[in-house]
Structure 1
């Protein structure tokens, strides 16, 4: 079986509880750079399933914390 990085990440978090998902995210933030692709995949899912208002809020949050 040959999995893509995205598929491997999704398999890792599949069937996790809300608390377990939070732990995965919090453990990844500020950690090693090798976990950044995983956060990217999770953010992609969040982004794709948010309405425009939520996306705009995420962008404003990001913008407010850059430079």
Structure 2
């Protein structure tokens, strides 16, 4: 079973608002079972970012963990 493919296929036809809602709910509820899905969403986005976008994301990440 390829968890990445399952999650991405499940999200493929969702709207931007649907995916934002999934992310917000996962953050709000802090449900640990949502962590793999968030990681896969992040991985998919990261792979499509250019270096400037990755640097901006790293600024957001560093701000969030400090």
Range into which the TM-score falls when normalised by the shorter chain: 0.7 to 0.9
Is 1:58 the counterpart of 2:57? The answer is yes
Any idea what the Cα deviations from partners look like across 1:21-55, whole Å, max 9, x if unmatched?
11111112242111101000000011011111110
Give the TM-score normalised by structure 2: 0.84
SS in 2 for 1:29: helix
For the aligned residue pairs, the C-alpha RMSD in angstroms reads 1.3
Partner of residue 38, structure 2 = 39
Give the TM-score normalised by structure 1: 0.83
Indicate the structure (1 or 2) with the bigger Cα radius of gyration.
1
Q: Which ranges of 4 or more aligned residues in structure 1 deviate by more than 4 Å? A: none
Give distance in 1, aligned partners of 2:15 and 2:48.
Answer: 18
Higher helix share: 2
